Every structure is written in structure tokens, then in C-alpha cells.
Amino acid sequence: MPSPTQAQAQALASIEILDAEAHHMPSVQAIYSRYVLHDLCSFEEEAPSVDEMQARRADVLARGLPYLVAVKDGEVAGYAYAGPYRSRSAYRHTVEDSIYVAEGLQGHGIGRALLQELIRRCTGSGFTQMVAVIGNSANAGSQRVHQGLGFETVGVLRNVGFKFGQWVDTVLMQRALR
């Protein structure tokens, strides 16, 4: 796995990866809302409320899965969590990751740091596979972050979403955790 650049390493020195707490969720909601309203990486079309984001976090935690924030200079710079890949019991050993970085902070290694910690925690919890379902096949940054941490592209689902008046693909990437 390639290591972060020197600039990324310096930027990461001031980043803390923490368990997300209730007081982080307004910032998490603000980060996610920007993606929902202005980007193709999320297929949601209406931004969820802070209360809805709190409920989603509670669901992730109730399943024993990690929900993390990256904090830089006291502010939430990004977040990530693992959720069940699918609801049927045969998928119980596989998780799906989600990562979002605050506007203007992409490309500084924050997503990578969040994903590394997510992988570490999910591996330690006994999960065997992690899947990334990356909205928008043009989302090269997310694909690079995942590839740099051992994910392989296993497929593209063409034209499965329709947002902002256009059809959108998803890229499926996968990584063994053991």
C-alpha cells in the first residue's frame, strides 16, 4: 500500500480519528448535506435532518459497527462508518463502508485515515469482507483512496441512479479483511 505524501503526512499530524458522538452530528449532517445537494456520490436527493443522522448513527452503533469522525483544529473534517452490506443473514460477515470529507479538505489524506481506521476496527471485530459502493463512476478520488488501501474494482452497475437529470453508475470495490 502506498504511503501518504509528505504534505498529507503533515496535514494528518493535526487530525484525530475519534468515535463519533452526538455533538459531532450537526457537523456530520452539514458535510453530508453538501454531497446530497451538490454531488453524485450520494444517491439521496433530500438532505436528512440532524435528527435523522443521529438515528442513523445510533443504528450503526447498535449493530456494533464503527462510526468515526476526523477532527482537525477542533472541527469535524470528515466522517466514516461501516454498515451491513445487505440485510440478509448470509451477508453478516461483510460490511459496506461510507466516507465523506468536508468541502475543501479532500485530497489531504483525511478519507484515507478514516478508511484505515474503519478497516482496522472491522477486521478486529471479525468481519471478513468490506465493500465500497461508490456513487458516480467519475468519482476518481474515492476510487483511488479505496484502491490505495487494497480494494479492487469488482464491477460497475451502469445507470442505476438518476439524479440531477442524469443517469449515474455505481462502482463496486471489495477488500478482504483477513
Task: Tell me the pLDDT tens digit for each residue of 49-104.
Answer: 999 999 999 999 999 999 999 999 999 999 999 999 999 999 999 999 999 999 99
Q: Map out the domains of the chain with their CATH numbers.
A: 6-176 (3.40.630.30)
Query: Three-class SS of residue 77?
Result: strand
Give pTM, 2 decimals.
0.93
Within 10 angstroms of residue 132's Cβ, the number of other Cβ atoms is: 24
Question: So what's the pLDDT on residue 3?
Answer: 55
- The strand pair at 75-84 and 67-72 is best described as antiparallel
- For residue 14, the 8-state DSSP code is T
Neighbouring residues of 22: CB distance < 8 A, sequence distance ≥ 6: 54, 57
pLDDT confidence bin for 1, thresholds 50/70/90? very low
Q: Is residue 78 within 8 Å of 109, Cβ to Cβ?
A: no
